[in-house]
Amino acid sequence: MNSRRNFLQKASLGFAAAAGIPALGSAMNSLGKENAFEGGVSLPLGFAGYSFVKFDLDKSIAMMKRLAVENLSIKEFHLPLNSSQEKIDEVKKKLSDAGIKPYTVGVIYMRSKEAVDQAFAYAQKVGVSMIVGVPNPELLAYTEEKVKETNIRMAIHNHGPEDKLYPSPKDIYDRIKDMDARMGLCVDIGHTLRAGVLPEKVVVEYKDRVFDLHIKDVTAMAKDAKVAEVGRGAINFPAFVKALKKIKYSGVCSIEYEKDMSDPLVGMAESVGFFRGVLKA
């Protein structure tokens, strides 16, 4: 009972701090922008860029600063794939000035060798060491060649039971398990649950290939489940975080908020705060 009370208190504190309630301004500092497990394994938080699909870069940065989240997966609507180096440097400076790190790019869909080439060239120009992508299965061998050539990791994203390419992390893992160790997974935990698989089991089973995480919640383990604020759905977040601790996951946990996308700040704050609360509890 005491541990549950402690969890709820910390989760509530996390939400309040993330929401920017003035009376709890110091709470954000105590929660920290980066959480750590025992033994020094860190769990930085981030945002998947798709969360901001309805907003320009300046407004997206403002929301991230308000939520004290420092890592961003850049999407092409903020920085097109064919951007000049001058444009890329301009966007990177804007992010850097705001204290935000572009840690990866994507999700990028790759349906031809030319698209694979473009994605890796883009990642090199942006200066990131990982792409979150969806290369068609017939392009995986060519993608592996580019990984070896550039030393940029490929984190392949699963998109749920209606996806014909990679419904669940297993569909990705089975295709890449004998490939270069820099070919891995971006596990979208909401789509994973909708595909009938528990996220906490996936990260343990495929631990060496889990490079990135998209954190969201869904209402049920069902194909037609709806997205929800983190903590309001069916995902067992304490069990999931326990699994991350078990595998000593040290990548970014990127919130991908897909509910109320025209007016997302309150839901984002609740999601960030709840997840921070789980980490602390």
Q: 141's torsion region: left (phi>0), alpha (psi -120 to 50) or beta? A: alpha
Distance of CA 134 to the CA centre of its chain: 15
* Contact between 268 and 63 (Cβ < 8 Å): yes
pLDDT of residue 168: 98
Residue 147, C-beta contacts closer than 8 angstroms, at least 6 positions apart: 153, 154, 180, 182, 183
Residues of the chain scoring pLDDT < 70: 1-42
* Domains with residue ranges and CATH for the chain: 2-280 (3.20.20.150)
Instruction: Please tell me what DSSP assigns to residue 33.
Output: S
pLDDT of residue 34: 57
pLDDT of residue 35: 57
Widest CA span in the chain: 57
- Residue-wise pLDDT for 79-119, tens only, equals 999 999 999 999 999 999 999 999 999 999 999 999 999 99
pLDDT of residue 37: 55
